[in-house]
Structure 1
């Protein structure tokens, strides 16, 4: 069996420590050797990004320059259609074959709204869901039916993630990092410092190109 291959999708407008630190903790906990960052082009569940696709990739490159855990896959930026996670996972499953363990990293907030995702019922046939904790979000699913679904599919042992290609939800014990890209953009528009929220190399790039200014 191949090692667990994990993806972490997002708008990354901009990438920040609330993305990086929990995922690094998750990787240590689950034995991930590599995490592929997957920037969205047309995010179906949120407003369009302020930064362009090229700017968001440039910020990702700077954020992970000294973090060998991470790499970047820009395939969703080549699409004109919404960035449906299930379509990307189907493409990756076709590329990597039926036996490759695939993990898709999400936050607790995304888990709670999973039933609103496009073809969400197909996700566990394609991957494991690796869930990072998020501050301020409930630990119970939104309906009894979804809670039952979670309990039926929750992994009890990390080896289940490495020894099977898909099918489990792993609730990771990750640090609660209360940072959002919305907060960063608001601070920037107000002329306030964000030095404690994201890597210095990303801030330098934001300053250089004049992002998130009125």
Structure 2
């Protein structure tokens, strides 16, 4: 299989901060699917959730520290340069133009995002530009909410990994990735409470957060 047509993956998120719940399932997914590159896409103005606590520059710095020396990952900052909401469809259209019509592209999402995909901007068009690579998450439903959504999933779902490498877009793959009950919310809450976050994210990121006094303990005076 030529290098050019190997499946490449994109992984968007607020990464406020990045943690092992992002990185380890992504690495497991890469090993499982034969991915050689995962491009991290930090969001600027996430349309569906509260604004990030850390600035764009701080979130990029934490990502860079977290993936230092790991050739699997790179960072694409295009969404941070936009002043408008980070609609995934706009990013996918741009990336498809840059990487070419034949390049297989996969967009990594969690099970929670799959179940609410119908709320995404122009969600029906996503599969025109990429495959969806879904990481299972603890505690979320296996079935889609409505028969229409389930039938959409059934039509597009594949269990054959080689199909993801052979066509540029259009499929949904549900991966049994390892589940890590780590969340950015929990990390921010622990830091605000003055508790240790050791083992939840890379040590280099924790050291840097401490130095910058990011997510500081409240009532620490």
Kindly report structure 1 stretches of 4+ aligned residues shifted beyond 2 Å.
Answer: none
Q: In the alignment, which of 54, 73, 78 is matched to residue 51 of structure 1?
A: 54
Pairing 1:1-16 to 2, within 5 Å after superposition: 2-16=5-19
Distance 2:35 2:58 in 1: 27
Pairing 1:148-187 to 2, within 5 Å after superposition: 148-187=151-190
The match for 1:39 is 42
Q: For the aligned residues, what is the CA RMSD? A: 0.8
Q: What secondary structure, in the 3-state scheme, does the structure 2 residue paired with 1:45 have? A: coil
The match for 2:77 is 74
Q: Deviations over 1:92-145 (max 9, x none)?
A: 111122111111000011001000000000000100000011111111111111
Distance 1:180 1:142 in 2: 24
Distance 2:202 2:96 in 1: 33
Q: What secondary structure, in the 3-state scheme, does the structure 1 residue paired with 2:62 have? A: helix
Match status 1:97 vs 2:100: yes
Q: What secondary structure, in the 3-state scheme, does the structure 2 residue paired with 1:9 have? A: strand
The match for 2:203 is 200
Q: Deviations over 1:32-89 (max 9, x none)?
A: 0010000000000000000000000000000001322111000100000000000000
Distance 1:61 1:97 in 2: 27
Q: Deviations over 1:151-178 (max 9, x none)?
A: 1100121011000000000001100111
Q: What secondary structure, in the 3-state scheme, does the structure 1 residue paired with 2:179 have? A: coil
Question: How many residues matched?
Answer: 214
The match for 2:148 is 145
TM-score, normalised relative to structure 1:
0.98
Distance 2:210 2:202 in 1: 13
TM-score, normalised relative to structure 2:
0.95
Structure 1: where are the runs of 5+ without partners?
none
